[in-house]
Structure 1
Amino acid sequence: MAQATLPHHLPLFLALSLAVHVAQAAEPAQSNPHDHDPVDLAAVEVRATPLRGTADDLVRPVEVLAGARLEAAKSNSLGGTVDKLSGVQSSYFGPGVGRPIIRGFDGARVQVLSDGLGSGDVSTVSVDHAVSIEPFLAEQIEVLKGPATLLYGSGAIGGAVNVVDGRVPEAATAQPLQGRAELRGGTVNDQRTGMFRLDGTSASGNVVFHFDALHRETGDYDIPGHAESARLLAEEGETPEPGTGGTLANSSVRTDSAALGVSWVGDRGFVGVGYSLFNNRYGVPGHAHEEAHDHDHDDHDDHDDDDHADEALHGEEGVRIVMDQRRTELRGGLDRLGPFESLRAKLARTEYTHTEFEDGEVGTVFDNTSTEARVELVHQPISGWDGAFGVQWSQREFLAVGDEAFVPGSEARDLGVFWIAEHGFFEDRTQLEIGLRHDRNEVDVADGAAIGPDRDFDTTSLSAALRWNLSDAAHLSFGLDRAQRSPTAEELYSNGLHVATGSVELGDPDLEVETANRTEIGVHWHNGPLELAASIWHVRYDDFVYLAETGIDEGDGPVRAWTQQDARFDGAEASLDWTFIENRTGAWALRVFGDVVKAELDGIGSRDIDVAVPHGDHAHHYEVSLPNSGNLPRIAPARVGGELRWETAAWRASVGAVRYAEQEDVAEYETVTPGYTLVDAHLAWHLDTPGGNAVEVFVDGSNLLDEEARPHTSFLKDLAPLPGRGIEFGIRGFF
């Protein structure tokens, strides 16, 4: 249960006191050869782009997590792992589900990648569908802010998150055999996690292998108070019984993941194959399919109806989800090909099944089989331009059977070609990057004559980015993009009760391509121990696709219709890193960051649409007037955060806090979300053994003030708060 008897500020005081006490007794820093040591994140090579460079060198805005910073940030979900980067937050549908939100965009507008290839899951279809990537096994995570359509196509119009796990080796290991293992436990949810990774190279140096495995189990997690928010309890006239609350029912998770990869590595390249599996079983808290009403759709752009959602999500029995994915990959690379510097080819086949159990019975089954191939060819400089050509192809077969099968089966095929290049001017004090991509997207729907015709789309994206080096310490960056996205199958063909949202969801088979025009200005200054980065950006959408509330309710729940209208997004973000002390007591550093997003429809007056609600063999038609202006729903609130870090050869400690502001800029039928503050702390002790191995013991604290936190981006905000105060502890071994 949540430890509500502890004074709110006591954990924070103890963490600070411990860090200061240890610092005073610390020995001088010594070098450490292991890859978990503090890493200069600005110097880590970014693999998401074929023109390899570091986060500090690239013209486009990119943030990277690796090394000890990644270890401290790792969470059970990918969204929770990256949500402390400026401009990045997480969706939330219980502890098993969390998808990255980049500058207010998520769902079908943010691409999640496994080392350059799509994850192959259906996490964009509904918010209760998890991403099939395990962040605890990642080597580094890269977040591409702004449109990444140039590199990854239509689904990356809002950005991309690339997880590098090294499951298909591309180079020989530093030692013949090396790896790591970790055991951890947690108090807030009785967590038990174990992971193991092993990499090795044959005596000849040509055969390289990789193996990893992870198992995680958690129970229902502790919360401060009751699952239902005060607003919901007051609305329903309910008074909780004394002594109840403190635990969120049906919030347990069990995850199993494993992978095996083998490569042949030569002087000029490599070829390798890998096979992985991912199985995730998790509960959906505050969520039962009572009277055919249930959980919510993942696309960030639909409108929220809190009154209907609150009623629809109540129930006495829980919903459990079993997600299973099997993935086969083939990768290869060759260097020094005459006029070309390198060739990289990737192919992945993913078989994915997502089964939803209601009261122990199978409710809905989602099957998704996808194949994706990508080829990148980096050419030698042409008139001073370094560049790369690329071709990307994918095919997806999707089928849903059961209560939540509001979207018909479909087959989607995408083919894209792109070119990206950069050139330095004025003795490389100015760098210019340009790019062009064209995609052909086709969607063939089952029973197309009854629901709508098959559709095909052509999308073209153009990009230009300029970096101006004012000095060795400072540079300005400017970005211009025109990116396009084709509608998804659920936006086109939804036609019935979406149990997830407790609503009737209607697609529009006549939707057209949406176009985003982005401008961005950024500044970066780095002088010794002080680093400052800031940017402001604006995105104007033509024909923005979103799910509109119609105001109709025929008994199955509110009727919502996919439609289009111009929209605009404005935002800003900034971060400061300052190593203000570095002496025999260790290195002391301060990080401060903040971000804000404003998103609204950009029109005047209203428009009329025809809404046809299906009823057996016929439909009821309504003429509905929709506003052309107003806020978009579930936009991440403004926030500001800070962290104090301390490091020596043997010790690492930090304490931080993030303040999430009250979100008052809400859409119609959406309620205001109160602000909250999350405080965390981390402590780790490291020991190198005489044999060259290492061991590390760690303790991590989260939500140390035991605050009731309800993310505005969550459909379950009134039914499932974030976990309360928790302590995680464990041991890592490196060999």
Structure 2
Amino acid sequence: MKHEHKTPDFFRRSTLATLTLLACSAWSQENATLAPVVVTGNPLGATELIAPTEQLSGTELLLRSQPTLGETLNGLPGVSSTYFGPNASRPVIRGLDGDRIRILNNGGASEDLSSLSYDHAVTLDPLLIERVEVLRGPGVLQYGGSAVGGVVNVIDGRIQREPLFGPQGGVAGKLDAGLATGNQERGGTVLLDGGNDRYSLHIDAMSRKTEDVAVPVDLSCTRGGVTSTARRICNSASESMGGALGGTLFFDRGYLGASLSTYDTHYGSVAEDEVDIRMRSSRLALEGELRELGGWLQSLKAQFSRNDYQHTEFNAGVPGTLFKTQGNDLRLQARHARLGALDGVIGLQFDDSEFSADGTEAYAPYSRTRSSAAFAHEELATAWGKLSAGARLEAVQVESFGTPGVARFTPATRSFNPGSYALGALWNVASEWQLTSNLSWNERAPKHYELYANGEHVATKAEEIGNPELGKERSTNFDLGAAWKRGAHRAQLQLFQHQFSNYISLEGTDLTTSPPQYTYTQVQARFIGAEASGNVRLLDAQHKLDLTLRADTVRAENTSTGQPLPRIAPQRVGATLVWSRAAWGARLGVDRYAGQDRVPEGQLATGGYTLWNAALSLRDKVSGLPALWYAWVDNIGNTLAYSSSSILTQTAPGRVPLPGRSLKVGLQLSF
């Protein structure tokens, strides 16, 4: 795969700016008052959440960061990934993927086409993430009734919501560089923040280049008519770069901020030896909040984003299908005054997006989706805990314009009025025990491709046919949790069920054709599962030693036919020993994946496997600057494994295993 684009000038300039600012680091450290970025799934800022929430930040995020968001989160309780090779992977939560999972950027919409097709990359790169959260429960209705599985919120700090520095001002930042062996990765980031108590300025930039990924099995690769064999995934190289400028003005009772970001990636499509993809995305975000307004209205917050995305597929260097989407998202949220023990927010959201695809692989027509919604989230404090309630009412219009020159696409319009409601409760049973429960009724309007698709989808190797008569997808969702905590010891168990009365599934209707024909069909479906996690403090003196434990399982079934649903992660159990002493830290982990033989009739089962990993870190100083040296090894045993939640296990069996052994080393400087 040949990469023609070069590192942009802004990345080189920002790197030079960083080196200049390093000379002023002593002054900046004296004046910086950096506070951690804290954003939770609770719009009221409560620390006790009724629904389970997973979050990664700091060293924990750094030591598990992968080139994609899906692989970075994979392995958290209840979270797997779509794994379309090392460059395109989206989170799967409790067996639910695609548009049943909402991906946000700082609480605002992140528009891309990663839910349309598995080979489309997410536009949020883990190199620039400060914190990422997996959210569930009544609070997610403020982001969308379709988020049955949950919300993934990525925080990058490009618009600061609180001043980072005092009146005297300051500069702070981070410089990170890393190398990896498995994919020969060379990557780095630059992040700068400056300002005072009245304004802040932000700049960040990243660059990453990788080669084909090493695996523990010989694989063939055909390019230019020549076939070779190597222990690497053919056509898995990539090159990515991106960055942003942001700024915020602070007032006595609020702030107003803006950011402009760009992301550009060029990567191979691992399903085909000579097909590569160039994706470009830009995003404008505006955000502001007024606080302490007095009277009935306590605060008012507004967020607006404009996203422009395009994705071009090249076959042997020749441009093929071009996918585009442009979208605007506006959120208005108000927090009302307390009514006794009742606290809450109400809001409005408006979304308008346009989609187009031109080329031989354009299997869905030009379309436009517009939606408007009103939502509310309320919490009632009690002597024994709290109760919560959420509601969201939407109006959605999905319009097909057809495609110029393509007769099989015809204009059509559908309108829907989804309504979603949720209830939750938290009971402080004792000083160390909590019980939680959530019940929700969700409705989701069909997506444009579920209604109007009509053509071959190369990523799934199937002809996909939409159904313009689809109704709203409805589900009843329930989970029950118990949590215990005593000092550093903790344990948590969550049981859940999602019951769909008309789940939108891609069902085989004619498997004798080439490619086989699949049609979007509504069926009854049920997802049942459990998640468990815990921590045991083994040593608590100069040496600290913790044993973290995790396990999850989900069973998903098309109850209309009695067949299992496809691409469901198997039962998983894992444990990690985490040691620290002064500036040193180390960890050794293992994850056991059971075999997955509960697959639809005619599909392939996947075998079980065990993956070991280890990491080492050292906090030090380099030229007087705080430094973090780190190293980690993934798949220590170089185990051959295939993901059961990846479409490639079925469409390209044996072709795209999980990465083999890889060592990554790096240095992070802070100032």
TM-score normalized with structure 1 length? 0.82
Shift of 1:648: 2.6
1:523 and 2:523 matched: no
1:334 and 2:290 matched: yes
Quote the Cα distance in structure 2 between the aligned partners of 1:155 and 1:129.
20
1:565 and 2:520 matched: no
CA deviation profile, 1:207-254 (whole Å, cap 9, x unmatched): 2011100000001111101348xxxxxxxxxxxx9x943111211111
Residue 149 of structure 1 contacts residue 155 of structure 1 at CA under 8 Å; is this kept in 2? no
**With CA pairs under 8 Å and 6+ residues apart, which has the higher RCO, 1 or 2?**
1
The aligned counterpart of 2:122 is 131
1:434 and 2:370 matched: no
Shift of 1:148: 6.4
One-letter amino acid matched to 1:177: V
Identify if the C-alpha distance between structure 1 residues 188 and 689 changes in structure 2 by more than 3 Å, giving closer, same or farther: closer
2:608 to 664, 667, 675: 675
Identify if the C-alpha distance between structure 1 residues 682 and 446 changes in structure 2 by more than 3 Å, giving closer, same or farther: same
Quote the Cα distance in structure 2 between the aligned partners of 1:649 and 1:446.
63
Shift of 1:430: 2.2
1:355 and 2:340 matched: no
1:415 and 2:372 matched: yes
Quote the Cα distance in structure 2 between the aligned partners of 1:583 and 1:725.
34
Q: Which moved more, 1:132-141 or 1:495-504?
A: 495-504
Shift of 1:591: 0.3
CA deviation profile, 1:606-653 (whole Å, cap 9, x unmatched): xxxxxxxxxxxxxxxxxxxxxx32110111111001100012331111
SS at match of 1:470: strand
Shift of 1:450: 5.6
Shift of 1:261: 0.2
Residue 652 of structure 1 contacts residue 684 of structure 1 at CA under 8 Å; is this kept in 2? yes
1:713 and 2:636 matched: no
RMSD value, Cα: 2.1
Shift of 1:147: 7.4
Matches within 5 A, 1:370-385: 370-385=327-342
Identify if the C-alpha distance between structure 1 residues 689 and 671 changes in structure 2 by more than 3 Å, giving closer, same or farther: closer
The aligned counterpart of 1:47 is 40
Quote the Cα distance in structure 2 between the aligned partners of 1:107 and 1:87.
15
1:267 to 252, 255, 273: 252
Residue 63 of structure 1 contacts residue 143 of structure 1 at CA under 8 Å; is this kept in 2? yes
Quote the Cα distance in structure 2 between the aligned partners of 1:61 and 1:500.
33
Shift of 1:715: 1.8
Identify if the C-alpha distance between structure 1 residues 90 and 562 changes in structure 2 by more than 3 Å, giving closer, same or farther: same
CA deviation profile, 1:457-487 (whole Å, cap 9, x unmatched): 0011110001110112110011110011110
SS at match of 2:659: coil
One-letter amino acid matched to 1:656: G
The aligned counterpart of 1:22 is none
Quote the Cα distance in structure 2 between the aligned partners of 1:177 and 1:459.
47
Shift of 1:48: 3.7
The aligned counterpart of 1:579 is 537
SS at match of 1:81: helix
2:142 to 151, 157, 164: 151
CA deviation profile, 1:410-439 (whole Å, cap 9, x unmatched): 0000111111010112x2x22100111101
Shift of 1:672: 0.6
CA deviation profile, 1:296-330 (whole Å, cap 9, x unmatched): xxxxxxxxxxxxxxxxxxxxx42111000011111
Residue 221 of structure 1 contacts residue 247 of structure 1 at CA under 8 Å; is this kept in 2? yes
2:97 to 106, 119, 140: 106
Quote the Cα distance in structure 1 between the aligned partners of 2:368 and 2:615.
47
1:169 to 160, 172, 178: 160
CA deviation profile, 1:669-706 (whole Å, cap 9, x unmatched): 21110011111111011114795x30111111000000
One-letter amino acid matched to 1:269: G
Quote the Cα distance in structure 2 between the aligned partners of 1:128 and 1:36.
38
Residue 41 of structure 2 contacts residue 140 of structure 2 at CA under 8 Å; is this kept in 1? no
SS at match of 1:451: coil
Identify if the C-alpha distance between structure 1 residues 356 and 590 changes in structure 2 by more than 3 Å, giving closer, same or farther: same
The aligned counterpart of 1:653 is 586
The aligned counterpart of 2:19 is none
Quote the Cα distance in structure 2 between the aligned partners of 1:134 and 1:93.
16
Structure 2: gaps spanning 5 or more residues: 1-30, 221-226
One-letter amino acid matched to 1:435: G
Quote the Cα distance in structure 2 between the aligned partners of 1:118 and 1:252.
29
Q: Which moved more, 1:454-463 or 1:495-504?
A: 495-504
Quote the Cα distance in structure 2 between the aligned partners of 1:147 and 1:594.
24
Quote the Cα distance in structure 1 between the aligned partners of 2:509 and 2:623.
69
Quote the Cα distance in structure 2 between the aligned partners of 1:452 and 1:524.
52
Shift of 1:451: 3.2
Quote the Cα distance in structure 2 between the aligned partners of 1:220 and 1:508.
39
Residue 437 of structure 1 contacts residue 462 of structure 1 at CA under 8 Å; is this kept in 2? yes
Quote the Cα distance in structure 2 between the aligned partners of 1:490 and 1:146.
28
Residue 146 of structure 1 contacts residue 157 of structure 1 at CA under 8 Å; is this kept in 2? no
Quote the Cα distance in structure 1 between the aligned partners of 2:34 and 2:60.
9
One-letter amino acid matched to 2:598: D
Quote the Cα distance in structure 1 between the aligned partners of 2:361 and 2:258.
36
One-letter amino acid matched to 1:538: Q
1:388 and 2:345 matched: yes
Quote the Cα distance in structure 2 between the aligned partners of 1:695 and 1:503.
50
SS at match of 1:668: coil
Quote the Cα distance in structure 2 between the aligned partners of 1:379 and 1:49.
15
Give the fraction of aligned pairs with identical amino acids, expressed as a percent. Answer: 35
CA deviation profile, 1:514-547 (whole Å, cap 9, x unmatched): 1110111100000112100001111110111000
Shift of 1:510: 0.3
Quote the Cα distance in structure 1 between the aligned partners of 2:393 and 2:465.
29
Quote the Cα distance in structure 2 between the aligned partners of 1:189 and 1:211.
28
One-letter amino acid matched to 1:687: D
Quote the Cα distance in structure 2 between the aligned partners of 1:552 and 1:67.
48
Quote the Cα distance in structure 1 between the aligned partners of 2:608 and 2:598.
13
The aligned counterpart of 2:177 is 183
SS at match of 1:492: helix
Quote the Cα distance in structure 2 between the aligned partners of 1:688 and 1:282.
36
Quote the Cα distance in structure 2 between the aligned partners of 1:214 and 1:412.
32
One-letter amino acid matched to 1:92: Y
2:151 to 154, 160, 176: 160
Residue 137 of structure 2 contacts residue 438 of structure 2 at CA under 8 Å; is this kept in 1? no
